[in-house]
Amino acid sequence: MDNLLKGNFSTEKAVVDTDSNEESLEQRFEKEALKKLGGSIAFVAKQEVLWNDEDKSKDD
């Protein structure tokens, strides 16, 4: 692409690409809010109790 598109003038100041992957302030707020939004502890489907390794008395 650089071989095809060439400018015909030089800019006075270096151009900074603002369309980068940096998070917006809003996205950062959302991420921080999501961090605090979850439950108290995990949930694991179809499991009840695993008493220990020896008896493998998992009740599911």
Partner 1 sequence: MSAQNVDDIVKTPAFPSLGMQLVAQMSNITRDRIQDLALENAHNNLAAILNGQSLKALRDIKAGEGDKAIVIAAGPSLKRKKVAEQLLAANYDGAIIATESSMLYCLRQGIIPDLVVTVDPHPTRIVRWFGDPDLSEADLKNDDYFERQDLDTSFSEALRTNDEILELLNKYGQQMRIAVSSSSANTVVTRAHQAGMQVYWWNPMYDDPDQPNSVTRTLLMKNGLPCVNAGGNVGSAAWMMANAVWGKQRIAITGMDLGYYAETPYKNTQYYHEALSLVGEERLDEIYMHIHNPHLDQWFYTDPAYMWYRECFLQMAAHASCQTFNCTEGGILFGDNIHFTNLSDFLTA
16 lies in the binding site for partner 1 (CB under 8 A) = no
Residues 57/51, Cβ–Cβ less than 8 Å = yes
* Binding to partner 1, residues 32-51 (CB under 8 A): 32-51
The backbone torsions φ and ψ at residue 17, rounded to the nearest 5 degrees and listed phi first, read: -75, 110
Minimal distance, residue 24 CB to partner 1, in Å: 14
Residues 48/58, Cβ–Cβ less than 8 Å = yes
24 lies in the binding site for partner 1 (CB under 8 A) = no
Minimal distance, residue 50 CB to partner 1, in Å: 4
